[in-house]
Amino acid sequence: RLLDVSNTTLRQWADNGYLRVYRTPGGHRRFLRDDVESFTNAPEKAQEQGREDAIEGSALRKIRRSLGRNDVLQQPWYQSIEEEGKVRMRLFGRRLLSLLLQEAGSRRRRQELLEEAHLLGREYGTEMSERGVTLKDTIEAFVFFRTMVLDSTNPGSWGRIIEAADRVLVGMADSYEDSDKLANIKSK
């Protein structure tokens, strides 16, 4: 109540080390009032960063758990990438996750984020295309990832996340289109 956040958010902050927590022998979390009040009085930016990091950590855990499920392991988009490519895609995923969770702030910053999302989509699309992954499978992989991010965030932030995700999708489509044009030129 003091922090005006849900129990889930409070647990995430504690799990990520932003707020000191003590566990009872029964496993329940307990917080000292002084720690909570200090956190409440902390500069807003530090609190916001703590929230963003907690959300990012939650999304990463959800993605990792989902990637271990057998139904996901059988997906063509997952099977189409060899182990070295999966390491590369994890790095891309971390960049994308960070981008999708950023608050835009000013109009100029929002535009910069959308441009970065488009460029990231082009990079991802190029990488997947070069690995021989179809556009359909690339989009399915991205939609899986985007769904995990949305499931980990507050519905109030979905609009901005979807807006950035749409720019990523357009960038992916652009890169596949460029790849097709290049292949047509080479075949002539």
Task: Check residue 43 and give its pLDDT.
Answer: 46
| pLDDT score of 69 | 83
Determine the pLDDT at residue 118. Answer: 95
pLDDT at residue 23 in the model: 77
30 forms bridges with which residues in the sheet?
22
Residue 110, number of CB atoms within 10 A of its CB: 16
pTM over 0.85: no
Averaged over successive runs of 10 residues, the pLDDT of the chain (188 residues) comes to 76 74 79 77 56 73 82 83 77 82 79 92 91 90 90 86 95 93 78
The pLDDT of residue 14 is 76
Contacts of 3 (CB under 8 A, 6+ apart): 10, 36, 39, 40
